[in-house]
Chain A
């Protein structure tokens, strides 16, 4: 069993803050909220419960070690760092006001010049879609399921026998396009409207073994997509993977220019594989139609671009085996 104040992790709270963390069930108020009082930063001294191994010696024994959780030996306690040693990395208490805006989801109190990119801070979202749609990986729905939902929206259904009224508001959707040349019932289209979700596709760039994934539904047009890919792959090339020096120079040099893949003024072109397995140039068809048929993207060297179109999928199909 474990020391009530310290717990099994080996961390020990010293000083006046002990009572805050002790488990006194009587004080647990379940039905009403009272504002918690947090100990002062300066009171909080978290000793590092690190076993320095046999003979590690230099730790000062500040507190009696708690009983071990795992049976390992807890000979020494090393007070290596305290709150005082760190710049204030603890963020301020989250505001308990309404959270309708997702932009308050994280508080980066660290050195602002780190340029921390918070995936949780959403740009303004398209009308009809909540801010949530801009947060990566939230809500936590598996890609497999989300892609199936999207496919629901795209697949034709011959009859519609929904018995309740359509509750969906009019939204910008993919489904509209499948009405072209199909037997799709308008009711079905309206019902399926609700199912627009992420559309993650793989993106590979020539010369970079590791691919990425982008959510095409996060963009409203080709230009936005091209910009995003440019941002994504230019720094990536610099970070890179294992490569020879020469190759590295080539890749870095090539990607120092913006992709500008739509106007053909760079070394790379953006292409995509459609439902039929053909590789096409991105930008030829209306955006919605593109979303409907794209399977994956490839940023191809301009030199390799000749002969894009039906029948090229055999040549261009690549298998990634990963490092072995």
Chain B
């Protein structure tokens, strides 16, 4: 058979394909396309670091330049995954240091990264450009110093929300004087003060700097120095936004902001003193993204600020904004796409702010482009949810957290099944859903019937029986990630839908009713799944087989069971015996 195009032409055509889905499809056309594609794939995304091994990746894609990878399950964010569970990146770095000398980008989420790994990165990849560590842990500022000192072409260093052992701020001074390549620096999660003069000089010599997210320790009085040296900034994260009220500080700040004509995103705002907020007003009309979720300021000040931002697309804010503030938001910000409202006092027995379901209803009414919501509140009604669903059928992400577990509709005292049912029925494009409140198996029936594009579902303290889980596993065709805690779901639904699990990335179930026996069975029957039992009470076979396991994490993999499990994790293997790693 004659080929229509020479390889180089095909390769050139493939180079326009950036989505993994498209490239995967291309690989399946025929053997030669598979070969051509694999040699020219430059970016690899691995949603679960244990789904595949470094060797397999390297063998198939020999010329990778960018790796993006995720480790721990999402519920690790809420301390549900014990320390030491895994997700170590070092084996990957070691393998890639030999195989991918031209590697440029590493982006990791929820992984354990050590100083040793960072040092190896700094030494191994001469053209290293981008390091993004999102919610990672295990390293110190010494590791950062290695990166700063050795990566001559570093463009991005982003440590968003990582847990870094902060030994000192000295790491920043390790950027050599001839480093001028920085485009993005996010050090907001660090505690220690860096040398301000080193920071200033770094910012001044990097003309392409677009994103600068400072940490809390950078005082507001010094902010103008940085802004004057980087008027081209597009995204700024301030440090602590408070100081003595002095007119010179204010006017310096206002003047500095006015010079930054390209600013689109603002964040930071720890310790806000409201008197300094008007200094920012000159940039507000250009702002599309505003993260005020650490700003403990009251509704009137929030409203004054937010209503200046007519082009706002994304707002993260504390519930101090209250219903009145959200109403004002709905009136001013017609381009709003994403809203996240976080609780200021999640553990208080009584509400401390006047934020109810009404705030969210107002925004759903007033903002025609709203598609992504994360909302913490203390009361909800079916009527409100139905209204929201009907207002915004293009909703893509809907995450509602009613703070009290199993709280019913506060008006009717009924379960919130009908409300969430309306959400899934009306919002046909819904990809992510997190539910809370009192929910019976009925809501899962609605979800299974309607949520055909749902990819990620988070459930807590909900449902009555296995039927609930069965509805979800059998009905949600696009489901990739399912995470469940404290629900009365047990063996039947899980075993009946075992094959479904191979079509998903992962399933997490903790404090449910899945027995050890069922886990073993699942592991035996499904060799392409890793069925991991996490149980800190000791070996599961020291208890009856019918005893429920504490936590279960099931994920598909082509790498077999992992070799780095700690003592409280057991994998259910086909050889019918309990296996430790």
Contacts and interface: CB of A to CB of B under 8 A. Distances in A.
B528 to A, nearest CB: 10
Given A8-B477, A28-B421, A111-B547, A239 B567 contact: yes
A214 to B, nearest CB: 10
B523 interface: no
A202 B82 CA distance: 11
A223 interface: no
Contacts of B62: none
Contacts of B140: 319
A228 interface: no
B417 interface: yes
A169 B350 contact: yes
Given A51-B499, A148-B270, A137 B78 contact: yes
A114 B548 contact: yes
A155 B404 contact: no
A32 interface: yes
Contacts of A114: 543-544, 546-548
Interface stretch (B150-158, B174-182, B226-234, B406-414): B406-414
B15 interface: no
Contact of A110 (B83, B273, B486, B547): B547
Contacts of B368: none
B536 A239 contact: yes
A133 B347 CA distance: 5
Contact of A159 (B112, B244, B463): B244
Interface in B130-186: 135, 138, 140, 161, 163, 165
B199 interface: no
B496 A132 contact: no
Interface in A154-187: 155, 157-159, 161-164, 167-169, 171
Interface string A15-28: 00000010101001
Contact of A152 (B78, B270, B498, B564): B270
Given A9-B497, A32-B418, A120-B511, A128 B348 contact: yes
Contacts of A25: 449
B470 A11 contact: yes
B461 A120 contact: yes
Nearest to B527: A53
A154 to B, nearest CB: 11
B114 A96 contact: no
A65 B493 CA distance: 17
A200 to B, nearest CB: 6
A236 B537 CA distance: 8
A31 B78 CA distance: 34
B83 A211 contact: yes
A6 B502 CA distance: 17
Contacts of B496: 9-12, 46-49
B474 A8 contact: yes
Contact of A240 (B112, B434, B567): B567
Interface string B438-461: 101110011011000000001011
A285 interface: no
B315 to A, nearest CB: 16
B473 A9 contact: yes
Given A93-B440, A110-B546, A50 B525 contact: yes
A323 to B, nearest CB: 5
Contacts of B463: 94
A100 B521 CA distance: 38
A39 B216 CA distance: 57
B298 A94 contact: no
A141 B115 contact: no
A106 B511 contact: yes
A210 B567 contact: yes
A159 B274 CA distance: 10
B538 A148 contact: no
A65 to B, nearest CB: 10
B111 to A, nearest CB: 10
B298 A162 contact: yes
A99 B79 contact: no
A33 interface: yes
Contacts of B442: 36
Given A69-B500, A92-B464, 12 more contacts: A33-B414, A80-B525, A89-B491, A94-B440, A108-B513, A115-B543, A118-B511, A120-B486, A138-B405, A209-B84, A241-B566, A321-B115
13 contacts: A6-B474, A11-B500, A28-B446, A83-B492, A106-B486, A114-B548, A118-B511, A143-B163, A155-B271, A157-B242, A162-B298, A195-B345, A242-B580
Interface of B: 75, 77-80, 82-84, 88, 90-91, 94, 112, 114-116, 135, 138, 140, 161, 163, 165, 189, 216, 240, 242-245, 270-271, 273-275, 293-294, 296-301, 342-350, 352-353, 376, 382, 386, 401, 403-408, 412-415, 417-418, 421-422, 425, 434, 438, 440-442, 445-446, 448-449, 458, 460-461, 463-467, 470-471, 473-475, 477, 485-488, 490-493, 495-500, 502-503, 511, 513, 515, 521, 525-526, 536-539, 543-544, 546-548, 550, 564, 566-568, 580
